[in-house]
Structure 1
């Protein structure tokens, strides 16, 4: 089983209530492996000591709702399996739920329902339907004790696919409503230069506005990018970690350290995270 890299452990531990964690990627430096480490930290049996202490202190079980607009459940199940996580069993124990925001998004609008593979499939790209599906699933996971963490993969894809039907303000309001129903929220967004700084098209303008707004709101931002000097055999990319003001942090809770790390994702899904010069 692949363990969570030691240098990464403080950042994937269960965060404070109402916190927002933003993970950004560029072409060639995906956040998939990082999202899987969050799932491993919250749902796995062999948690790092920091994550364990948080759960024991609160006396609660951590649950996860994963909403993906880019990848289906089969992708996440395969990645989780390599980390000794059985998402089917976790779903049966009401500790994990998955909303598929991609496979049936452009089919005839209908009430979202659980598919044959255990995923809750969203039909039709109307924001109201998507909003209700996420809210209802969060409510179901909140049954009993436990803290529910909301993980949204590539929310910006929904913005891009909706065209003129959806703007940044409305999407931001919807996200805020979801956040109020979860213990904390983790978001992944693309941060490629044309999308982050371009203003030539409505898509670029809306994407940049969404990215900037969420970056200002986030308590923690983990930005993945490729090496500035090009490719390297033993380095996949750079992970830059920055922290916000985090006003919701408890007085006794230490602020995570801002730093820049290198990482390498192996062919067997193992991940090394290290500092420059190591």
Structure 2
């Protein structure tokens, strides 16, 4: 089983057009990890070439991860033939670790690893500052409009862990400001029913408001869920691809996106198969 880009997903994983926003949603049992890894692979390995491009080709990627540390992404990317540490030395990749140091005192902004930044505070001003520093580290010269894809994995963790201190509007404004700094943005969020549909607690209400706000802004949404009929030995879940309200303003994305539903299977070796129903 191929561990790289499944052919049915090729049109959707290309570098998003300038100023666009792509949303990936997950539910319990249908994680977006494998999909994020394939976005990284497509963006960092130029046009699917077997060899890594030189530092001035393609886009740079800043990965901000609130649920998984750099080791997780490095090891799983390596299984796909993607050396994130090597790419970071070429100023093609940087990682912002929003997990290991977020709620621990006296954390340094930059870790000892190459091109890895560690968030030391859940304060939105600190989060924004560290992410901007990571983005600018890939821009040459600094502050230029170099193509940088900003991938933010599970920023809704901030809502879940800060109580009433940070609301969905404030977090949404941070994302809007960061979009002005980069070529395009990809965001992953949880869309489980208790948080997205039947809101009862303050956290569920805030999460639903944030999810809805990002979904309305997204040019394309890829939603992962489990099979409606239950588990299957050779199917891990369903991926639904839809266009958003901003899609009509983006001709390049409009030509590329076909709304559809596909099935996918994630193997034990990390390989992924994507196929139509009935295949």
Q: What is the TM-score normalised by the length of structure 1?
A: 0.91
1:81 match: 78
Show CA shifts across 1:9-45 (max 9, x none). Answer: 0000011101000000000000000000000101125
Instruction: List gaps (5 residues or longer) in structure 1.
Output: 49-54
Contact residue 69 and residue 155 of structure 1 kept, 8 A:
yes
1:227 and 2:227 aligned: yes
The 1:75/1:68 distance shift into structure 2, 3 A limit, reads same
Aligned to 1:51: none
SS at match of 2:64: strand
Q: Is the 8 A contact 2:93 2:115 kept in 1?
A: no
Superposed, which structure 2 residues align to 1:77-226 within 5 Å?
Answer: 77-108=74-105, 112-116=109-113, 119-144=116-141, 146-226=146-226
Q: Root-mean-square deviation (CA), in Å?
A: 2.0
Give CA deviations for 1:119-166 in whole Å, capped at 9, x if unaligned. 211112111111100112112211248410000000111111111110
Indicate conservation of the 8 Å contact 1:159/1:166, yes or no. yes
CA distance in 2: counterparts of 1:74 and 1:251, whole angstroms: 35
Residue aligned with 1:97, SS: strand
Alignment partner, residue 36 of structure 1: 37
3-state SS of the aligned residue for 1:186? Answer: strand
Instruction: Tell me how far apart the structure 1 counterparts of residues 4 and 253 of structure 2 sit (CA, whole Å).
Output: 28
Q: How many pairs are equivalent? A: 269
Residues in 2 aligned to 1:182 and 1:157: alpha-carbon distance in whole angstroms: 22
Asked if the contact 1:60/1:147 (under 8 Å) is kept, the reply is no
Gaps of 5+ in 2: none
* TM value normalised by structure 2: 0.91
1:65 maps to 62
Partner of 1:52: none
What is the CA-CA distance between 1:253 and the residue it aligns to? 6.0
Change (3 A) 1:252 1:189: closer
Tell me the distance in 1 between the aligned counterparts of 2:57 and 2:214. Answer: 28
1:68·1:102 contact (CA, 8 Å) conserved in 2? yes
Secondary structure of the corresponding residue to residue 76 of structure 2: helix
Secondary structure, aligned partner of 1:164: coil
Report which stretch shifted further, 168-177 or 251-260: 251-260
Structure 1's 45 and 16: CA in aligned 2 closer, same or farther, altered over 3 A?
A: closer
1:251 CA displacement: 6.3
Alignment check: 8 A CA contact 1:80 1:86 kept? yes
Contact 2:101–2:107 (8 Å) recurs in 1: no
Query: 2:274 & 2:147 partners in 1: Cα distance?
Result: 28
